[in-house]
Amino acid sequence: MRTGGGTGAGAALVYGTGLAQGLALVCFPAASSILTAPTGYDLSPSQYGLMFAPQVVLAITAAALTPVLARRWTLQRVQVAGLVANLLAMVLLVLSQAPAPSGGAYLLLLAATGALGFGFGSCVSALNTFAAALVPGREDRSVLTLNVLLGLGTALAPMLIAVLLPRWWLLPVGVCVGLVLAIAVAWRVRLDPGPAAGPTAGTPKAFLPGRFWWYAAAVVLYGITETLFGNWSSLYLSGQRGLGVATASAALAAFWACVTVGRVIVAVLPARIPATAMYLLLPVLIVGANVAVSGASTAATAVLAYAAAGLACSAMLPLSISFAGREFPRLGATSAGELIAGYQIGYGVAAFGVAPLMAATGLALSGVYLVGAAVAAVLAAVAAVITRSGRRPDPSVPATPPVTTATRSDVPERP
């Protein structure tokens, strides 16, 4: 029996898949202390950073191709393909235990991050589109709810690895079980992407409206700042600061937990607090969080600084996606796909650009976080442009659209 995406089964599939995707996404950064330890995989900082290159390339490719593949296969088949790729990534991560530490293990890790990138790029693009269509008129809240559960998965991953040590590989095994379940359910539950994101939807990249690129710039800059916190915290705290693996895991867990808490807070804000005000405030808070992390030298200050960073980062990406989706509804899956691709570009810049930056400039990781503060300041300027200009009608919509495709040009006052 198949059912529509607006039912409880459809919502459970979308949100449950988001939780599994969050767990899968952070398995690699959460295991960074194991991957770089002499008793583990013994990766150098450069090898660790380069390990994410296949993930970024395939995530960008998958996200950009999502609308094209959706026209040929349907968007839900794209989502299932992403789930299968995520499952392959977790299997390869578990298998990499056998030849570690060796060149064979590193090749398996590269293949695993590549599969994870394809899975993330295609699955998250589809999930954001499905989430926006779950409850018409409540797109911002639905997208934020999805990202809350994504954040919950990312928060749980480092905590679970810390608890499971030395059997940390049980986490990807558990994620495999969840992904198999999600794939099985996805074959039976039909998800509705909404009329704007149907099989014929999608605007060629060359015809993306000019204002859309401000959103793209925002998610690229945000991707850089989030990845500095999410991918380099363990090496920074256990390496430069000498605070130990337990503190590093606690700080990373605090970061992702507060990302989730922040999204919940934004989702339930009273209507009198505009979402645009939060969109302007969050980049400023990211600036301050980078400065705080750069100066953290004790276990307590490190955990608090990363918790503050999580709150600051919380809603930037989901608000960017939902704002763009409301301003350009006729872009359909293209909007979410291109923005996820932009986010992955920022992720890539920070994931494997930090080590070369440190080598070229002599900066320590504490100095890199000050560079992150400068990036966040630019993000604040871009957010100001987006909100000051307001949300204009989609130029692809006729001047007098029918009621079924009417669009709003106003900025919603709450997510």
DSSP letter (8 states) at residue 240: I
% of residues, the chain, pLDDT over 70: 85
Q: What is the dihedral of CA 48, 182, 226, 95, to 10 degrees?
A: -10
* Residue 201 predicted with pLDDT over 60: no
Q: Quick check: is 415 in a domain?
A: no
What CA–CA distance (Å, rounded) separates 4 from 10? 6
What CA–CA distance (Å, rounded) separates 139 from 17? 18
Q: Which residues form the domain of 12?
A: 8-395
Q: How far is CA 295 from CA 45, 78, 364, 380, in A?
A: 21, 43, 12, 22
Question: CA nearest 313: which of 243, 262, 270?
Answer: 262
* Residue 392 predicted with pLDDT over 50: no
Q: Quick check: is 127 in a domain?
A: yes
Q: Quick check: is 1 in a domain?
A: no
Going by pLDDT thresholds of 50, 70 and 90, the confidence category of residue 270 is low
How many separate domains does the chain show? Answer: 1
Per the prediction, the chain carries an average pLDDT of: 83
Q: Quick check: is 258 in a domain?
A: yes
Position 244: which residue type? G
pLDDT of residue 389: 61
pLDDT of residue 155: 81
Q: Quick check: is 56 in a domain?
A: yes
Q: Is the pTM of this model over 0.85?
A: no
What CA–CA distance (Å, rounded) separates 116 from 59? 8
Q: Quick check: is 62 in a domain?
A: yes
Q: Quick check: is 3 in a domain?
A: no
pLDDT of residue 229: 95
For the segment 96-145, what is each residue's pLDDT rounded down to a tens digit?
Answer: 987 755 678 899 999 999 999 999 888 887 887 888 778 776 766 777 78
Going by pLDDT thresholds of 50, 70 and 90, the confidence category of residue 406 is very low
For the segment 61-73, what is each residue's pLDDT rounded down to a tens digit?
Answer: 888 788 788 888 8
CATH classification at residue 350: 1.20.1250.20
For the segment 300-356, what is each residue's pLDDT rounded down to a tens digit?
Answer: 999 999 999 999 998 899 889 888 888 887 776 677 778 888 888 998 899 888 989
Q: Quick check: is 403 in a domain?
A: no
Q: Which residue has the higher pLDDT, 253 or 380?
A: 380
